[in-house]
Amino acid sequence: LAEKMKKSPAEVIKKLMMLGVLATINQEIDADTATILAQELGFEVEVKVEQDVEALFMQEPEDDPADLQPRPCVVTVMGHVDHGKTSLLDAIRETNVTATEAGGITQHIGAYQVEHNNKKITFLDTPGHEAFTAMRARGARVTDIAILVVAADDGVMPQTVEAINHAKAAGVPIIVAINKIDRPDANPDRVKQQLTEYGLVAEEWGGDTVMVPVSARTRQGLEDLLEMILLVAEMQELKANPNRPARGTVIEAELDKGRGPVATVLVQNGTLSVGDNLVAGTTWARVRAMMDYKGRRVKKAGPSTPVEVLGFSEVPQAGDQFFVVPDEKTARQIAEKRANRKREEEFKAAMPRVSLDALFNQIKEGQVKELRVIIKADVQGSAEALKQALERLSTEEVKVNIIHQGVGAITETDIMLASASNAIIIGFNVRPDVNARRVAEKEKVDIRLYRVIYDAIEDVKAAMSGLLEPEY
């Protein structure tokens, strides 16, 4: 700012002080402060805000209620292992999908739809509250109704309770499917009784939880279950606006040998079309082709429709939320920005002070007699100064050994050297390049970055003195 105004930094800092702001020469000040400051010094200020494209598309514009149309509900099946979740999903799919269409082959794409009374229901095909909560942990809210499967012969079990808690935590209404009622030892009333302990009271007992006796084996009660799902869905008044760019969630994704990255996405609002560009997590796609759960090619997918999408740059993650952007360049740009940010975060997380600490623990236990260090700095003079200062920290017990010093960014070779030699890397005014970060993460090499030599010395000194046995 001082340069721009052709003033000396001292003059600017002094003015700031008079305005009650204590700042150093390289400190950032906010736009408001800069405006006041510049005006004080007789300048006119124009604040230019850099547009954040990501933020622009991330926030969902409110839909006009007039544009909203009813959408199918999305259902997840949960419950204890072996209570029949998979059997139930299969039975519903077979009864309502394949049978109605001669020769129709269902594809496993992670979700499917059935039609009942001319209304659609979308079933997520990965049963269990683990998948449900993993998605939720990633911010995805896809399920409108949870079907809690409880085997009538087995009753409420630990995972039944977990499923109840997960659904409740998400605020998703529960419909209980009391399964295996074909079994001679089936006791639906006992299930209902047990469920009251968890706040689920059957309607016929004066509560408000819908409970349907079913058998995935004999297919008894399946129509009732679908009927009840539609009823509960109706009360939720689920709506979306099909006439806008799509957004939704990745349900599953994999790398297909022939087709490349493939993802099943659930469109939650808007309509996804072939040719659209989208961002999903840290990946992007230009939608090359879409297939429905029957494996048929489709050109468009509206709200609550699951489709398999081809054209992703990389395999996205289940739970990634996607949104359509106007062009490929924007999609790529946002995805890359996010990928970089993620790498940085992962890098930070993978680089706790563990390594240095671990090393000093070994020193403490007498297993290690020297601390090996690699120094990388922006200029030779700094590297040399740091080297000398660190070497001076050597004690009788522990020697500080600078095994390598150099000028420039921290590279993959530095990491490999550190890994092979059990050394830490100290970077002074330099950073690891992308490759180095990746390898460091894998090799669990401790990289410590400093801008002040004194800080580097203090850290090493503190670790050494703090962890070494006191001398008597």
Closest to ligand GDP by CB, 183 or 239? 183
Give the count of residues interacting with ligand GDP (CB under 6 A).
16
Task: Give yes or no for residue 190 binding ligand GDP (CB under 6 A).
Answer: no
| Consecutive H or E run containing 381 | helix 380-391
Q: Pick from 15, 43, 54, 82: which binds ligand GDP (CB under 6 A)? A: 82
Q: Pick from 38, 195, 211, 216: which binds ligand GDP (CB under 6 A)? A: 216
Supply the DSSP symbol for 202: B
Interacting stretch for ligand GDP, rule CB under 6 A, among 31-39, 79-87, 130-138, 375-383? 79-87
Burial of 442 by CB count in 10 Å (0-12 exposed, 13-18 middle, 19+ buried)?
exposed
Q: Which residues contact 440 (CB under 8 A, 6 or more apart)?
A: 347, 350, 351, 415, 425, 432, 447
Closest to ligand GDP by CB, 16 or 181? 181
Closest to ligand GDP by CB, 163 or 415? 163
CA distances 138 to 80, 129, 269, 346, Å, are: 23, 14, 18, 16
Pairwise CA distance, residues 200 & 457, whole Å? 62
Q: Pick from 130, 182, 397, 412: which binds ligand GDP (CB under 6 A)? A: 182
Pairing mode of beta strands 210-213, 174-179: parallel
Task: Give yes or no for residue 94 binding ligand GDP (CB under 6 A).
Answer: no
Task: Give yes or no for residue 431 binding ligand GDP (CB under 6 A).
Answer: no
> Min. distance of Cβ 399 from ligand GDP in angstroms?
59
Q: Pick from 72, 84, 245, 311: which binds ligand GDP (CB under 6 A)? A: 84
Task: Give yes or no for residue 127 binding ligand GDP (CB under 6 A).
Answer: yes
> Min. distance of Cβ 152 from ligand GDP in angstroms?
8
CA atoms within 13 A on the CB side of 463: 23
Query: φ and ψ at 414, to 5 degrees?
Result: -60, -45
CA distances 70 to 9, 120, 155, 273, Å, are: 62, 11, 36, 20
Task: Give yes or no for residue 81 binding ligand GDP (CB under 6 A).
Answer: yes
Task: Give yes or no for residue 86 binding ligand GDP (CB under 6 A).
Answer: yes
Q: Pick from 38, 74, 78, 85: which binds ligand GDP (CB under 6 A)? A: 85
Residues 366-405 that bind ligand GDP (CB under 6 A): none
Task: Give yes or no for residue 180 binding ligand GDP (CB under 6 A).
Answer: yes
Q: Pick from 9, 63, 68, 87: which binds ligand GDP (CB under 6 A)? A: 87
> Min. distance of Cβ 218 from ligand GDP in angstroms?
7
Interacting stretch for ligand GDP, rule CB under 6 A, among 11-19, 77-85, 204-212, 341-349? 77-85
> Min. distance of Cβ 135 from ligand GDP in angstroms?
18
Tokens of 110: 């992670």
> Min. distance of Cβ 136 from ligand GDP in angstroms?
20
CA distances 263 to 108, 111, 128, 349, Å, are: 12, 11, 20, 28
Closest to ligand GDP by CB, 149 or 285? 149
> Min. distance of Cβ 77 from ligand GDP in angstroms?
8
Task: Give yes or no for residue 448 binding ligand GDP (CB under 6 A).
Answer: no
Q: What's the full length of the chain, in residues?
A: 472
Task: Give yes or no for residue 183 binding ligand GDP (CB under 6 A).
Answer: yes
Closest to ligand GDP by CB, 183 or 294? 183
Task: Give yes or no for residue 129 binding ligand GDP (CB under 6 A).
Answer: no
Residues 37-56 that bind ligand GDP (CB under 6 A): none
Which segments of 30-187 does DSSP mark as H helices, in order?
A: 31-40, 53-58, 85-93, 129-137, 158-169
Q: Specify whether the CB–CB gap between 114 and 96 falls below 8 A.
A: yes
Pairwise CA distance, residues 171 & 272, whole Å? 27
Q: State the CB neighbour count (10 A cutoff) for residue 242.
A: 18
- DSSP-derived secondary structure for 207-235: SSBEEEE--TTT-TTHHHHHHHHHHHHHH
> Min. distance of Cβ 284 from ligand GDP in angstroms?
35
Supply the DSSP symbol for 186: -
Q: State the CB neighbour count (10 A cutoff) for residue 237.
A: 8
Closest to ligand GDP by CB, 76 or 179? 179
Interface residues toward ligand GDP, by CB under 6 A:
79, 81-87, 127, 179-180, 182-183, 215-217
